[in-house]
Structure 1
Amino acid sequence: MQEKARPSGQRHLLLMVLLWTAAVIICSTTAGVKTGTGNPDDKPKLPSSWKKLAVFESVPSTTAKALKQGIDSYEGKSYTAALKALPAGEQTKASRIADYVLYYRGKSNLMLKQYKEAIEDFQLLVKRHPDSRLVRDALIGQCQALLESENPKELLALLGNAKLGTGADATYFEARALDLTGEKAKAAELYLRVYSSYPSSSSASLAERYLAGELKGGRHYKERLQRAETQVKEGNYRGARTLLLALRSVKAPDRSSSAKRDLLFGEVEYRLGRTSAALTSLRKVTAADPALHARAIYLEGICLRKLGREQAFLETRARGLKLYPGSPDIEELCYSVATYYDVNCNPAKAREAYSVLYRNFPKGSHSDRALWKLALFDYAARNYEAAAQRFLQYLTANPNPLSAASAMYWIGRCHERAGDTTSASYLYRRTRQLANNSYYGQLALEAEKSLSKAAGSGTVRGINFDELAARCDAIQLPRVDLSTPSAEAVIIIERARELAAAGLTGSALAELRWGGQEYSQNSDLFSYLMASICVQRDDFGGAITNLRRAVPDYNGRPPAALPDEFWEMFFPVRHWKIISAQAAKTGLEPSLILGVIRQESAFKVNARSRANARGLMQILPSTGRDLARRAGIRFTTQRLYNADTNITLGTRYLSSLLKQYGKPELALAAYNAGGTRVARWQKELAPSDMAEFVEQIPFAETRNYVKQVLSNRAHYDLLLASSARKE
């Protein structure tokens, strides 16, 4: 990578970092380690360079302490106090975080309307720290100061800086500058662009002020329609509806605009629950514009689905396929029909619907799901040859290890049912090597144990096993890079460490996130460090999310493939005392309790879902009240945020489900989707075993929930067995 030019102060810092990096390379025996062998004797250790960087100081530097005080004052709107706390530019010239000091000095001066001083601060930041992540923000601040001080010519000159980009802010500033220089027509055009293209931005509200009188009647109809379209894409349905009602009161300038207005109004009516009104508007859209008409047909179809008008729903799909056979919107309509029959537990019609979907869109966005479902239907019908061929198609299209492992497992089952136990054994073994302790790895282990020891003589016709084995053998888990960071990356990391030491964790995380984008060769390290900060904040969900960027397939890796520090972040153990106590009382495995908590709340004590479930094990207040009454526990909704109370009630509930259903798969599905649904699925889908049941769960959320909790349980079993230290 070509090195960027740096001013003298930063060169000095880089030299210091280069010396530090050289020392790390000499002393670190694990520098450049690539993990992934899975051999316990070759288990990777976290490099000493990573360990050192992950230790965040508890005592901030003088500059960092002053910065924290200044930011606190700024956020408290005490701008004079902020300036008093923040050192002047020359005083912090050698500091790693001098750009932050300059930035907040500039912002404070701007709020005090001290424009000259604000501009000087922002300019100094850009000059001294051209590689800072704050450069664009400083340029925006400078634009604001120039605008408020009515200096449009300098503002127009500054807008030529490529680092400003062409978004809402830059466009708005250009509009204001042109307006102030008398170029009203050009300014109006840019105001309209901000208003229509960036409706959720703060600049759009400002631009709207300068369009007063321009947005009435039929004026600028297309721009206003574009704004409504963008609002729909952003999910602001009420805002879009208000605007569309105004546009419906006047004549559209052309048929295309009229059709788009009717289409958008139909969509917002549907999204807001006015399904019948939506149909009326959608049916006004004609075939004059094929793209709009295809979208209208899709929306009409899902309206009919919601209204329960099945025959009309199917007729709409047929019409869409006839008129627009390659449209992505019609693919979505076909998928909606398939999931409709899935959710309503009608396997025969679901199979036909998935066949229609796959036949018409073999390379579409839902083709993988359709292929998987068709393979499962073949398997359930005991057509193992057809099922194996479809699963092989899926494997070929999805060669990443975890997706491939799921297909290998089911191909193995097809071979086992056909009597070819030798091939089945190989496929189960390869599944375990790729999926390990994850859901499919566990299934493969159980299947291999139960295989008959006698070699079977059956075959699966249509499958060349040598070619299949070669394809399976070629799929390997990728290695994780634990190499020593570059000198440039270390500069970013040291800045983040200094910010974190002062309690500015939000800025520290933003710095590391930016560093991972700028220096992608060290992105795994940046992800690990962000996860480390999240752990220190008890944000275990954030830690998992960040570390998953480095190891997206961690679920399928063996324990020996990653450092212990990674596993402890992926599978945190908290509230051990109450968990172990409740496990003993209820007979639940501690690993299962931990697995449920990890999936439900990621150990966030005050978690609250959109469905109003609360706390670590996500208990609804109504359920919690009933459980507390039975347990003789005093209950208030607020107590669901108490870890001990929540776990006590949650484990009682989970234990009761496990006793009721007898199988963890059924109990977990009931925990997530409710017992009524599970009873219906058992009765109407009639799975032959739990693996089939899980695959047949109609709701993707519940299906994935069961798989992930069982994967969590297996990982926690290993973690608890290997560590004597628990919280």
Structure 2
Amino acid sequence: MKISLLFLTSLLCANLFAAQEDDYPQDSVFIDLEETSENQTIVETFLVPSESPLMALADSNFALENYEQALQLYNEIDKFTSNSVQDFELNFRIARIYQEQKQFEKAIQFFKKSIQQKKKLAHYANFYIANCFEKLEKTDSAKTYFELATEVRNSPFYWDSQVSIAMSLKELGDLEGSNKVFMRLLQTKKYSIRKTEFYFYIGENQLALGNREKAITAFYNGIDYEKGKTYSLKCYETLKKIRLAQEEPFTKEERIKIIKMLVNFGQYSEATTQINRYKTLHPKFENQRIAYYEGKILAKKKQHLKAIPILRNALEMSPSSGLASYIQLQIARSSYALSRVNGIDEYLKFSKNYPNHSKSEEAIWKVGWIHERDKNFQNAASVFANISKSSTSNIALNSRFREGFSYYKEKDYSKAISVWQKHLKKKLPSFDEERLTFWVAKSFEKLGEKSKSDSIFMEIASKPFNSYYSLKSFQKMFGSLPQISDSLKASVKHSTEINDEFLLEAILITELTKKEFGEYELRNYYKQNRRNPNKIDQLVAAYEKMGNYGKAIRIGITLTKDLVNGTIQDSTSLWVYRINYPQYFKSEIENFAKIENLDPELVYGIIRRESLFQEKIVSHAGARGLMQIMTYTGKRLAKSTKLEGFRNDWLFESEISVKLGSHYLRILLDLFDEDFEPAIASYNAGEHRSKQWIEEFGFEDKEEFVENIVFSETRNYVRAVLKSYWIYKIIWENSGKI
């Protein structure tokens, strides 16, 4: 529902603020700001519980943090309400506004009123009342209301409230009680990632109680080298202060654990300081682990020539220790960084010495891959064959393909066919089976046996939506994508109206509280109704109304596996694929695709793979928004599109993300003469790498280029985007030749 603020303000409340041009979507409520040709701001809001324009305007003001205007409107609405549900919503909204304005006493008053009107949702109000008391530093009252909130054991914030209770007890001085709650939290899987934080607070409590040794134990336990970086470092710093206060050095055990944590979290300077301190305190005591970390730090800094002799010395200290395998593996990695030939020798040595190591198979695979890149195809095939025999892992599955592909690249197509057909006699996952079968057909094609190759391609194409390979096969046979009749397309209906009371309540919870609280309810709904298409359609509509498109698509992905067998034969299967491959942000995508002369389906495919249409997502590498653009790339693209005053948070704006991402796609397609494969690979890994792969492997055959992509992530990415591109072409419009 789109509501013109200019129209509504003139109709309902003159002179209320319209959205400013530099307003941006808030995490609590999903909104989208556009500018019309008349420079009139329009607000699209997905979380309007009533169709009342007045309520919509009030909610829009709340979303834009125009709290005074929102309050004014809610008070107007309050005069016309006549049922407890609406009274609950209004009082809860008003309470949330006062909470945002830090008027906590007033917030508590209205939260309490909401409890009287809808006791079923009282635990939500209790949770926020407790938060308000926390802000007022009324810890005892906060503890009381957190306890009330946790009376509903399966509520979404049960354990969050337990954390708050532990902190409240800490503030009230009941340190023993606080530690008991923290210890109970340490036993729950939900909070395994926060264990360093809880140990830190336990340590603080023990220190305050005068239990120095127990505090040291807690801080030591809180030093974790895999997760919880912030509190691991806090535990380390606090433990260091305790030791310094008594002029005590760390114990050997403490220092070694600290060094491991510092190395794993990239704190190389501090780790080096602790290593040097260890050497000073124990000059005659050689420690293999200390030497390993010293070498590893140098390797992380890409100083491999310095790292290797230190690592070899560490290995000689105790060749049969549990750490020896990791030292040998680091030697192999550093050797490979300096020379492929040396890398082969060291990886083989590692796999021979430690055949049962979790990284042994990966090391052997690396050897095979090096041989393949160096065009030693017989050696590569031999290595991959050995891996294929010994395991059913993903590496082994990939090795079954690369064994045959090594012969294919040597142009020994008959041998390639023989290898792949041998592996196809075993039970393989659907994707791997289609991959090998596709390349058997390609090999027969190379041998000039067209009837055999066509027969195999036809077999794969019989379930065209299974994979990249099945859609490729269909196009090879028919010269176009599968067609779906207009009547079938017209028969698919997806409801945007929600009439399920449970879902309406979940949406309300999401709007009034926190996003994850409503999602908790929606997850339960999915578990109970996953086999009911009508209910699932309503659930998808609910996620869409909340702007949570990623969850809607994940439902489609699951349904595709459960209900569809690689074909679209009826309205139900087409409905499933449209949930899986939706057209969210259609106006932005089609607009900028037209400007950049792109197929909009390609932009849909990129966005689906990059972000699942989630505007606010940030990758581990720092890429942002729908099209996952890095900051430095965003600045460059903003300059080339004459978008002045670029700010990093703009990348979370759907319109800007699609504008810049589409422009980047156009640059890449121009660079690679409109060839999708290297352009898509470049979007994931950078254009310099696609150029390098073309130079190394050639581009005479597009399917070969995809299989030659060095990074498995990029290889999978290209296949996934192309599959999405083709499916979008099929299910949303009449497809032509590709």
Do they superpose with TM above 0.5?
A: yes
Instruction: Give the TM-score normalised by structure 1.
Output: 0.69
In the alignment, structure 1 residue 147 sits paired with structure 2 residue 170 = yes
Counterpart of 1:194 in structure 2 is 222
- CA distance, structure 1, for counterparts of residue 176 and residue 102 of structure 2: 31
Superposition deviation, residue 552 in structure 1: 5.9
The alpha-carbon distance between structure 1 residues 617 and 247, as it changes in their structure 2 partners (threshold 3 A), is closer
Partner SS for 2:333: helix
Counterpart of 1:443 in structure 2 is 472
Counterpart of 1:106 in structure 2 is 130
Counterpart of 1:39 in structure 2 is none
CA contact (8 A) 2:668 2:682 kept: no
AA matched with 1:146 = L
In the alignment, structure 1 residue 367 sits paired with structure 2 residue 396 = yes
- CA distance, structure 2, for counterparts of residue 312 and residue 402 of structure 1: 35
In the alignment, structure 1 residue 250 sits paired with structure 2 residue 278 = yes
AA matched with 2:601 = S
Question: What are the superposed Cα offsets for residues 622-642 of structure 1, whole Å, 9 maximum, x if unpaired?
Answer: 8647965xxxx7877569963
- What pairs with 1:75-86 in structure 2 (closer than 5 Å)? 79-86=104-111
Q: Of 125, 149, 159, which aligns to 1:136?
A: 159
Counterpart of 1:571 in structure 2 is 581
- What pairs with 1:321-360 in structure 2 (closer than 5 Å)? 321-339=351-369, 345-348=373-376, 352-353=379-380, 355-356=382-383, 359=386
Q: Of 299, 304, 308, which aligns to 1:270?
A: 299
Superposition deviation, residue 199 in structure 1: 4.7
- CA distance, structure 2, for counterparts of residue 323 and residue 592 of structure 1: 48
Partner SS for 2:287: helix
AA matched with 2:339 = R
Superposition deviation, residue 445 in structure 1: 1.4
Counterpart of 1:317 in structure 2 is 347
Counterpart of 2:312 in structure 1 is 283
CA contact (8 A) 1:195 1:227 kept: yes
AA matched with 2:343 = F
Superposition deviation, residue 135 in structure 1: 1.9
Superposition deviation, residue 367 in structure 1: 2.1
- CA distance, structure 1, for counterparts of residue 509 and residue 153 of structure 2: 19
Superposition deviation, residue 296 in structure 1: 1.5
Q: Of 697, 712, 715, which aligns to 1:700?
A: 712
CA contact (8 A) 2:503 2:542 kept: no
CA contact (8 A) 2:166 2:178 kept: yes
Superposition deviation, residue 568 in structure 1: 3.7
Counterpart of 1:120 in structure 2 is 144
Ranked by relative contact order (alpha carbons within 8 Å, sequence separation 6 or more), the top structure is 1
Partner SS for 2:243: coil
Counterpart of 2:213 in structure 1 is 185
Superposition deviation, residue 644 in structure 1: 7.8
The alpha-carbon distance between structure 1 residues 256 and 163, as it changes in their structure 2 partners (threshold 3 A), is same
Partner SS for 1:285: helix
Counterpart of 1:16 in structure 2 is none
AA matched with 2:242 = G
Question: What are the superposed Cα offsets for residues 356-412 of structure 1, whole Å, 9 maximum, x if unpaired?
Answer: 365268325522222221221222334345423543565566733333322232233
Question: What are the superposed Cα offsets for residues 594-617 of structure 1, whole Å, 9 maximum, x if unpaired?
Answer: 434544565577988859799859
Superposition deviation, residue 310 in structure 1: 3.4
Q: Of 317, 320, 328, which aligns to 1:297?
A: 328
- CA distance, structure 1, for counterparts of residue 341 and residue 96 of structure 2: 62
- What pairs with 1:527-538 in structure 2 (closer than 5 Å)? 532=541, 535-536=544-545, 538=547
Question: What are the superposed Cα offsets for residues 246-303 of structure 1, whole Å, 9 maximum, x if unpaired?
Answer: 1431248899993223323433443344444433542332252543222112222222
CA contact (8 A) 1:528 1:546 kept: no
Partner SS for 1:219: coil
Deviates more, 1:592-601 or 1:706-715: 592-601
Counterpart of 2:730 in structure 1 is 718
- CA distance, structure 2, for counterparts of residue 183 and residue 520 of structure 1: 53
Equivalent residue pairs, number: 615
Question: What are the superposed Cα offsets for residues 54-82 of structure 1, whole Å, 9 maximum, x if unpaired?
Answer: 99844785445544555565566654454
- CA distance, structure 1, for counterparts of residue 558 and residue 518 of structure 2: 18
- CA distance, structure 2, for counterparts of residue 77 and residue 392 of structure 1: 70
- CA distance, structure 2, for counterparts of residue 721 and residue 596 of structure 1: 18
CA contact (8 A) 2:607 2:626 kept: no
- CA distance, structure 2, for counterparts of residue 326 and residue 448 of structure 1: 45
The alpha-carbon distance between structure 1 residues 537 and 346, as it changes in their structure 2 partners (threshold 3 A), is farther
Partner SS for 2:260: helix
In the alignment, structure 1 residue 591 sits paired with structure 2 residue 601 = yes
Counterpart of 1:223 in structure 2 is 254
The alpha-carbon distance between structure 1 residues 693 and 522, as it changes in their structure 2 partners (threshold 3 A), is same
AA matched with 1:320 = F
- CA distance, structure 1, for counterparts of residue 589 and residue 565 of structure 2: 26
The alpha-carbon distance between structure 1 residues 186 and 652, as it changes in their structure 2 partners (threshold 3 A), is closer
- CA distance, structure 1, for counterparts of residue 657 and residue 505 of structure 2: 36
Identity among equivalent positions (%) equals: 17
Superposition deviation, residue 430 in structure 1: 3.7
- CA distance, structure 2, for counterparts of residue 218 and residue 515 of structure 1: 56
Superposition deviation, residue 440 in structure 1: 0.9
Superposition deviation, residue 499 in structure 1: 1.3
The alpha-carbon distance between structure 1 residues 366 and 81, as it changes in their structure 2 partners (threshold 3 A), is farther
Counterpart of 1:497 in structure 2 is 507
AA matched with 2:383 = V
- What pairs with 1:33-112 in structure 2 (closer than 5 Å)? 57-58=49-50, 61-67=86-92, 70=95, 79-87=104-112, 91=116, 94-95=119-120, 97-112=121-136
Question: What are the superposed Cα offsets for residues 185-222 of structure 1, whole Å, 9 maximum, x if unpaired?
Answer: 34432332123476525487368536633377642332
Superposition deviation, residue 83 in structure 1: 2.7
Counterpart of 1:642 in structure 2 is 656
Partner SS for 2:143: helix
Counterpart of 1:464 in structure 2 is none
The alpha-carbon distance between structure 1 residues 165 and 677, as it changes in their structure 2 partners (threshold 3 A), is closer
AA matched with 1:649 = H
Partner SS for 2:677: helix
In the alignment, structure 1 residue 260 sits paired with structure 2 residue 255 = no
CA contact (8 A) 1:237 1:272 kept: no
Partner SS for 2:223: helix
Question: What are the superposed Cα offsets for residues 152-194 of structure 1, whole Å, 9 maximum, x if unpaired?
Answer: 4544665675896385255556556666666543443233212
- CA distance, structure 1, for counterparts of residue 624 and residue 240 of structure 2: 45
- CA distance, structure 2, for counterparts of residue 135 and residue 126 of structure 1: 5
The alpha-carbon distance between structure 1 residues 533 and 267, as it changes in their structure 2 partners (threshold 3 A), is farther
In the alignment, structure 1 residue 544 sits paired with structure 2 residue 573 = no
- CA distance, structure 2, for counterparts of residue 532 and residue 449 of structure 1: 36
CA contact (8 A) 1:665 1:694 kept: yes
CA contact (8 A) 1:574 1:603 kept: yes
CA contact (8 A) 2:169 2:177 kept: yes
Deviates more, 1:542-551 or 1:108-117: 542-551
AA matched with 2:663 = L
- CA distance, structure 2, for counterparts of residue 304 and residue 713 of structure 1: 41
In the alignment, structure 1 residue 656 sits paired with structure 2 residue 670 = yes
AA matched with 1:388 = I
- CA distance, structure 2, for counterparts of residue 88 and residue 175 of structure 1: 40
The alpha-carbon distance between structure 1 residues 301 and 398, as it changes in their structure 2 partners (threshold 3 A), is farther
The alpha-carbon distance between structure 1 residues 601 and 153, as it changes in their structure 2 partners (threshold 3 A), is closer
